[in-house]
Structures are given as structure tokens and as C-alpha cells.
Amino acid sequence: MLGRTGVLVSDAMSAEESIVPSNFIRNRVEADVKDGKNAGRVATRFPPEPNGCLHIGHAKSIVLNFGLAKEFGGTCNLRFDDTNPSTEDMEHAESIVEDIRWLGFDWGENLFYASDYFEPLYQMAVRLIEMGLAFVDDQNAEEIRANQGTLTDAGTNSPFRDRTVSENLDLFARMKAGEFEEGEKVLRAKIDMSSSVLTLRDPLMYRIQKGEHPRTGKAWSIYPMYDFAHGQSDAIEKITHSVCTLEFRDHRPLYNWFIERLELKPAPEQIEFARLNLTHTITSKRKLRELVEGGHVSGWDDPRMPTLRGMRRRGYPPAAIRDFCEGVGVANRDSVIELSRLEYSIRQDLNKNATRVMSVLRPLKVVIENFPEGEVDELEAVNNPEDEAAGTRKVPFSREIYIERDDFMEEPPKKFFRLSPGREVRLRYAFFITCVDVVKDESGEVTELRCTYDPETRGGDAPDGRKVKGTLHWVSADHAIEAEVRLYSHLFDCEDPGELSKGPEFIDHLNSESLEVIENAQLEPSLRDAEPGHSCQFERLGYFSMDPDSTKAKPVFNRTVTLRDTWGKVLKKEKK
Ligand code: ATP
Ligand code: MG
């Protein structure tokens, strides 16, 4: 595991965490329930802003919030935080709904929008003005920033800070009525320009925005700032535990200030946790949008993206994503988790659940000289060695087959146990074959192998007990289905492209080899009726999932994850 600064936290620690994930938030909630706080009621929410698609970081928050509700017999609301009409749209809201369902969570009737609360929020603002706790400021954004002060120096009061209540009420009503232009006026809380807590220096509550809101249309020309809307929306929904990420810690005093002055009860308890960051990818919607809009990926659902749509298309099972999110625990300091840890969860799941097939990615033709032309032998193959109930299937064998180009070497080095001239190997579930000749084209490239087979070895073992060192996967040339296969690897070539110091240059760290397309892979014929979304293991190659780009004539398969399992090795070492 990497610390946020790139310092390697010991693997021993991360391995331990994966066995007993610590979750201090869960412990806090449990203690509250025991103490009878809110009469033992637990209400959480997941509050996405509909300005992009959900990513693995959001999955973590979803698993946490819905998980708490489930464990303590409470509720978890889905609330769209749609207070900024210039960046939000309904398509993203719909995609978020679909993604959370896909991940396996359900909010029942509890779907809300911050925009449902525009009227009560407006009334709250009016009450604060009446109490002398808010004022309309004519300073522009630049002036407000200039008067903000610094960590060491107090800010300067706005020259409009001492407007009378009636003047403020009048101006705010006229802001609402659309009399002023964007940026001309804002509503600010009147707190303390010298507070050591910067968020308490007369923070903005409302701004003028003239665009159309996806849900409320042109009804409003003023919109609440996130900081004004968020805590009160929680209070309106009677959220007991308002779980959010660390960057909101500094905003907590402000949320509490609003809740206390407005006497909203019960006050939601805000608990912050560290964002989930993964190596070799980014978890910032803004940066992900840059990848999409810059054409660096094919869309939000590009299988290389850390979005739920991308992972779904890549073939990640939702249960494996949930396991991963639970397994890494909940921390209160920033860290970066190795992507291989997510991949480990994906493999664990697919190893149990994915059926095995034999497919050849880079085909090399093999003619079995002593196998009768036109004849087909149906051999029995195991669907999933991890699950006996998955049964067996028939795989056709014939005179011409394909093997993997890599599985043959004309002049093999010492440790190469696969096929080479004169060498005998096993074809999985089929026969022993021996290479008797190598056919090449003018350029010297091997185009075909001539082999003989031993009919006595049907099923894959020799009755005389002789052994072979290699077992190859294969597919019958006449029966194979040609397919496009997309091989993915890390989207970025460095571990922490999202690190702040790397700023806008994160694009420069895109891995130029993150996608390799194979046009003429040869698939086992049992995949004939597979549908997009179908997951399977191509034996010896990895886990693959059928892409929606597939056509009847040419299926497309995405490599979900390779078979190699480095994180598993780390875990095993730790257990010893
Ligand atoms: P981004 O920085 O990607 O735009 P965001 O926080 O602005 O993320 P929201 O739509 O506001 O995106 O997020 C909804 C919820 O998901 C928030 O409660 C937020 O704290 C949480 N969340 C976002 N990113 C992560 C992450 N990487 N890890 C854990 N929780 C996250
Ligand atoms: Mg946000």
C-alpha cells in the first residue's frame, strides 16, 4: 500500500487489513445505537452530484453507507446533490441510478434531490437574514477572495456587511426574482472574518445563476451553495450519520453553525473518512471527464476507466467490487491502495464462478496428419473445476486445430516445455501430439505445424504411463469462432497519476499500451450463443467478458483480468 506521499506502507499491514478490515465509522455508529442516540435509529445517505459517472471511490462510499443502514436496520437515501445547474444533467442522474442498482443496492422509496428543498432552504436563508446572521454582498468574486485573508491574517469585513435586515430581505427577494445579473450579488452568512476556521469567514450561501435547472427549470435564479444546502438537506431528511470524505472536515464547524442557528433537530453527526485512491488510475470525476472529452478513452464506460460503467463492461462482478470495498476497511488518513488488490478480488470471484473455455488468441495452425479427414471427435471438458455442479461440455476435435503461437518454438531454450520439433505434448482434454514438421513462408515465418497424434491417449493420459511436460489449449479450426479480443492493462504508467503535485500533467502519464486489439482470435464453439456481459475464463490466458460491441458475425471479448495473481502471493507469504 502506498501512502498519499508515495511512501510504501508495509505489505504486511495491508494484508492484515484485508483479513480484519477496520472500520471506525461502523464502531462509532454501533456506539451511538448502544447509547440510544436518536432512539437507536440509523439513517445514512449517498449524495452524488449528477455531473459525471460513478467511480470506484463512490463505490466505496455506497458500500459503506448502504452497509451501515443494512447492518443497523436503518435506511440509506439516495440524494442527488443537484445545486449547480451549469454542470449537472439528468442523463448522469439516470446513469448513477443504474450503476448503484448494478452494484447491488436499493434505496426503496428513498430517492431525493437537493432541488426538492429549494423552497425550505430559501426560507432558512430568509430566517438567517431576519436574525441578522446573513447579508447581501455586492462585492464581486475577486474582491471577496481578496478580502478573505490568509491562514495567518484575518480577513476584511465587506463594506456591505452592515446592511439593515429590511434592506437585506428586499435585496435577497429581488435576487430571487431575477432582477440582478450573475455575479452582481451574493448572499453571505455573517459569522466572523477573523475566525481561524477559514470556512467561517462569512461564507457564501447563495449565488445568482441564470441557466435552466434540469428539474426546476427557470423557477429559480438563485442557487444555494453546496455548504448551505448539504447539511440542511441532511437535517431535512433526518439523517443521523452524515458520512463524508476528509475534505469536508473543515466544513463541519460551518454545517454545525447553520444547524444550530436554525435549530434543526436532530442534528446529523458528520463523520469523515479517507477517500479511496487506487494506483495506476484516478478517482476524480473532473479528471475522468477530461479523459472522455479529450478522446483519450472511448467514453465513461471504456473498460479501462475506474468507473462502475467501465468496470461492468470490463467484466468485473459487482460482488467482487463490494468485497474489495469492504476488505480495504475505512481509514481516516489518505492512502493509495494497490490496483492489484482490486484485481485480486475480481479473480477470487471469477475463479469460483466463471466457466472455463479454450480459446486461442494468436492462432497457429496444426494439421494432425494421422487424424482422418472430415472426422470429428467430441471430447469431454470440465466447465469449472471449482464447482462440480457446473458439469461438463463437449468440445469438437478434428484434423486441423489452432494452438497459441507462443506455445511453439522451433529452437526452444532449456526451460521451454511446450511444443517444438520432435517434442510430444498434451492437448488439454484431447490427445498427445508430436510435432513432425514445420511449414514456413518465404520470409521464414512459421505458418503451420504438422503433427501426429496418439489415439490411445484420448482424454489426455497415456495408458503406458508415459508423461509429457506441457499441456496446451487448442480449438478445432473448422469449428472455431473468429473474434476480436481487447487486452487491457493499466490506464496510467505511474502509480499515482492523481497526486496533486502532478496536476494537469496527469494526461502525460497515460499508458500508451493500455489497449491491445487482436482481430482474429479463435474461440471455442460453445461460445456461439453467448450474450454481451457473459464472463468466462479462457484457459491459461485470463478472464474475459463479452462486449456490447459484439455482432453475431464477430463477437468482441474484453480481458477482465489476467490469471496471474500477485496479491494472492503476498497474502500467502504473510500468513506463513
Ligand atoms: P470527485 O472528486 O470524483 O468529483 P465528488 O466527491 O465531487 O468526487 P460527489 O458526487 O460529490 O463526487 O460524491 C458523492 C459521494 O461520494 C460523496 O459523499 C463523496 O464524499 C464520496 N466520494 C467521492 N469520491 C470518493 C472516493 N474516492 N472515496 C470515497 N468516497 C468518495
Ligand atoms: Mg463533490
Distance CA 317, CA 364 (A): 32
Index of the ligand 1 atom closest to the CA of residue 277: 27
> Which pLDDT does position 8 carry in this prediction?
34
C-alpha cell at 30: 454501533
Residue having the nearest C-alpha atom to atom 27 of ligand 1: 57
Pocket test for ligand 1, best of 54, 60, 61, 289 (most atoms within 8 A of CB): 61
* CA torsion, ordered 286, 292, 297, 303, to nearest 10 deg: 70
Pick out the chain residues at pLDDT < 70: 1-21, 500-504, 565-576
> In this predicted structure, what is the pLDDT of residue 89?
87
Residue 431: which residues within 8 A CB-CB, separation 6 or more? 397, 453, 454, 455, 457, 458, 460
pLDDT recorded at residue 335: 81
CB atoms within 10 A of CB 523: 25
DSSP class per residue in 321-384:
HHHHHHHT-B-SS-EEE-HHHHHHHHHHHHHHHPEEE--BSSEEEEEETTSPTT--EEEEEES-
For residue 275, the one-letter residue type is: R
> How far is residue 329's CA from residue 335's CA, in Å, rounded to a whole number?
12
Residue 1, pLDDT score: 38
Cα of 57 vs centre of ligand 1, distance in Å, is: 7
Rounded Cα distance between 10 and 3, Å, is 10
* Three-class DSSP category at 225: coil
Looking at ligand 1, which atom is closest to the CA of residue 243? 18
pTM above threshold 0.85? yes
- Closest ligand to C-alpha of residue 56 is 1
What is the residue with the minimal CA distance to atom 13 of ligand 1? 48
Catalytic residues: 49, 275, 285
Of the candidates 449, 448, 425, the residue with the CA atom closest to the CA atom of residue 540? 425
Minimum-distance ligand to the CA of 306? 1
- pLDDT at residue 496, rounded to an integer: 86
CA of 467 from ligand 1 middle (Å) equals 57
CB 569 within 8 A of CB 338: no
Q: Which three cell numbers stand for residue 501?
A: 503535485
Identity of residue 393:
R
Which residues lie below 8 Å from residue 230, measured CB to CB, with a gap of 6+?
47, 81, 114, 255
Ligand 1, atom 22, residue with closest C-alpha: 58
Distance 342 CA to ligand 1 centre (A): 19
Burial of 512 (0-12, 13-18, 19+ CB in 10 A): exposed
| Phi and psi, residue 387, nearest 5° | -150, 95
Measure the CA–CA gap between 414 and 431, rounded to whole angstroms. 24
Ligand number, closest to the Cα atom of 60: 1
How many Å apart are CA 253 and CA 271, to the nearest integer?
12
Which residues have CB under 8 Å from 451's CB, separation 6+? Answer: 366, 367, 368, 369, 433, 434, 435, 436
Pocket of ligand 1 (CB under 6 A): 47-49, 57-58, 60-61, 244-245, 275-276, 283-286
- Interval between CA 5 and ligand 1 midpoint (Å): 20
Ligand nearest to the CA of 100: 1
Nearest to 159 by CA among 150, 172, 146: 146
Distances (CA, A) of 480 to 224, 360, 433, 522, 550: 60, 9, 20, 5, 16
For residue 301, the CA-to-ligand 1 centroid distance in Å is: 18
Q: What is the pLDDT of residue 503?
A: 64
CA distance 4 to 256: 29
Distance 254 CA to ligand 1 centre (A): 20
β-pair partners for 45: 77
* Shortest-distance Cα residue to atom 2 of ligand 1: 284
Instruction: Write b or e for each residue in 205-241: b if 16 or more Cβ atoms lie within 10 A of its Cβ, otherwise e.
Output: bbbbbeeebbbbeeebbbbbbbbbbbbbbbbbbebbb
CA distance 94 to 54: 11
CA of 472 to the centre of ligand 1 (A): 46
> Which pLDDT score is estimated for 497?
87
Write down the pLDDT at residue 13: 39
Q: Give the closest residue (by CA) to ligand 1 atom 23.
A: 58
pLDDT of 106 reads: 96
CB 122 within 8 A of CB 134: no
Question: Which mutation among 58, 239, 339 tests ligand 1's pocket best, with the greatest number of atoms within 8 A of CB?
Answer: 58
- The CA angle 52-512-55, to the nearest 5 degrees, is 20
Domains in the chain: ranges and CATH: 24-273 (3.40.50.620), 285-355+483-575 (2.40.240.10), 359-473 (2.40.240.10)
What residue owns the CA closest to ligand 1's atom 18?
244
518 pairs with which residues across the strands? 485
Q: Are 93 and 50 in contact (CB under 8 A)?
A: yes
C-alpha cell at 362: 494468436
* Nearest of 547, 26, 482 to residue 241 by alpha carbon: 26
Q: How many CB atoms lie within 10 A of CB 459?
A: 9
Q: State the DSSP H helix or E strand holding residue 529, giving kind and residue range, or none if neither.
A: none
Rg (CA), the chain: 30
Query: Residues near 347 by Cβ (< 8 Å), separated by ≥ 6?
Result: 543, 561, 563, 565, 568
Gap between the Cα atoms of 12 and 58, Å rounded: 26
- Give the residues across from 378 on adjacent strands: 396
